[in-house]
Amino acid sequence: MKFPHDFLFGAATAAYQIEGAWDEDGKGPTNWDVFSKLPGKTYEGTNGDIAIDHYHRYKEDIRLMAEMGLESYRFSVSWARILPTGDGEVNQKGLDFYNDVINECLHYGIVPFVTLYHWDLPLTLEQDGGWTAKRTVEAFVKYAEICFRAFGDRVKHWITFNETVMFCGLGYLKGAHPPGISNDKKKYFQATHHVFYAHARAVEVYKSLKQYGEIGITHVFLPAFSTDDQPENVSAARHANEYETFWYYDPILKGEYPAYVVEQLKDNGWTPDWTVEELDTLRGNAAGNDFIGLNYYQPIRVERNREAAAFTEHTRETSTLAPGHASFDGFYRTVKMEDKTYTKWGWEISPQGFLDGLHMLKQRYGDIKMYVTENGLGDEDPIIEGEIVDVPRVKYIEEHLKVVKQAIREGIHLKGYYAWSAIDLLSWLNGFKKQYGFIYVDHENQLSRKKKLSFHWYKRIIETRGEEL
């Protein structure tokens, strides 16, 4: 069986991780331009000043994507190129760049799938409270409308935010992302609420423009499973799913927050300072959300945590999402299982966990349209006689695409798969060491591009619409 004719085979990137040109053509500074230069925050001090120079090489990169037969390219817009101060004057050269990227995609018949926010916040907004401040919400809505009006005649697929749990969790609980705050639960939940409210407002604006495309959000999908059937560990998995999934998916798809979490926030004094108007906006725009983007890499295996939830010192190393850590509230801990397979970064490889999780989502949210907006293997790719022989990545993506096909057979409304990533790029916390791309970038040779084994494999999968899987 082939994948359906309207299923999109894609790949993804993000602005800060590929563009470079951090201060060119009127772009304003972002939180990551500053944070990445703080000692110890990134792997070996790597940053996005140059990244892989996609700002100057986007034509070559998109030509390679076309050669691979990519049907759709998911990329993000750097807000600070469009609005250098976050909510002030528009920078025409920023609009020009993304118009060029979009037009280059369309030149090859590649469907652009645009993420408005992939973690790089204009510095002025971060300095003024970031996502804990209402100003950032209003600024995002202004920025989103500018993008809709500038690109919406050609861009018909919009993602508002990428992985809210990551930039809020690492920003306010682990201190590993800007603004580098640790263990501030009140700010964490406040920031997530402002993001969901900003999303709902952007949906409202998008629908009012009657551009007849689709808009959604991309969340991490991290289904939690109990290590065994002990009631306390089953309760740990429930707790993890409530806080890591339902807190994120419910306000978008149901228009309200999960009662389990709301009650506990109240007990702990972590309830966001939300208003009736904001909660009504969430409720009133849930139906306008056209899809949910899932970034699936792994499930988590959890058990009840019996150790006292002492203050946890977080570092870059403890923030790369490997198992063996207690949850922010100490309720559960993630466990590395003897009978499971893991990547070099300690992430479990579990296509079955994905399929089981998809059915959990369908049971809770019904027939919502879904895209796999990220899935891929972070690895240090083998190089044999100058060729990048990334067989592990081929196997990883093959197994997950098989599950996507099986899920569609089982009635899950999946409409596309975007591998992370189209091309090797800068990892926020792992520098250039953790590779994900179909295209290799040689940092020892003027960032020259080279097709990997997986490039040729994915090309064939797309050509045959995955019939062999």
Residue written as token pair 């999908």? 221
Cβ of 23: how many Cβ atoms within 10 Å? Answer: 12
* Cα R_g (the chain), whole angstroms: 21
Known binding residues for substrate: 17, 118, 162, 297, 420
Q: How far is the CB of 429 from ligand 8VR (least distance, A)?
A: 6
Query: Do residues 193 and 137 touch, judged by C-beta distance below 8 A?
Result: no
How far apart CA 226 and CA 239 sit, in angstroms, is: 10
**Cβ distance to ligand 8VR smaller for residue 236 or 423:** 423
Q: Which two tokens stand for residue 404?
A: 């996507």
Burial class (CB in 10 A: 0-12, 13-18, 19+), 135: middle
Residue written as token pair 């109240």? 266
Q: 19, 71, 163, 278: which is the annotated catalytic residue?
A: 163
* Beta carbons within 8 Å of 267's beta carbon, 6+ residues apart: none
Residues near ligand 8VR, by CB under 6 A: 14, 17, 162-163, 295, 297, 374, 378, 420, 427-428, 430, 434
Sign for the pseudo-dihedral over CA of 358, 360, 363, 366: negative
**Cβ distance to ligand 8VR smaller for residue 245 or 295:** 295
Compute the CA torsion angle 54, 69, 404, 336 (nearest 10 deg). Answer: -40
Q: How far is the CB of 42 from ligand 8VR (least distance, A)?
A: 11
DSSP-derived letter for residue 49 is: T
Query: Nearest CA to 106 among 52, 76, 70?
Result: 70
Active site residue 163: yes
Query: Do residues 374 and 418 touch, judged by C-beta distance below 8 A?
Result: yes
Q: How far is the CB of 170 from ligand 8VR (least distance, A)?
A: 9
| Cα-to-chain-centroid distance, residue 243 | 17
Known binding residues: 17, 118, 162, 297, 420
Q: 19, 104, 244, 374: which is the annotated catalytic residue?
A: 374
**Cβ distance to ligand 8VR smaller for residue 41 or 304:** 41
Active site residue 204: no
Compute the CA torsion angle 155, 161, 162, 167 (nearest 10 deg). Answer: 150
Respond yes or no on whether the N-terminal peptide bond of residue 421 is cis (omega within 30° of 0): yes
Strand 157-162 versus strand 214-221 pairing type: parallel
Query: Nearest CA to 102 among 76, 84, 120?
Result: 76
**Cβ distance to ligand 8VR smaller for residue 303 or 381:** 381
**Cβ distance to ligand 8VR smaller for residue 117 or 206:** 117
| Cα-to-chain-centroid distance, residue 411 | 24
Catalytic residues: 163, 374
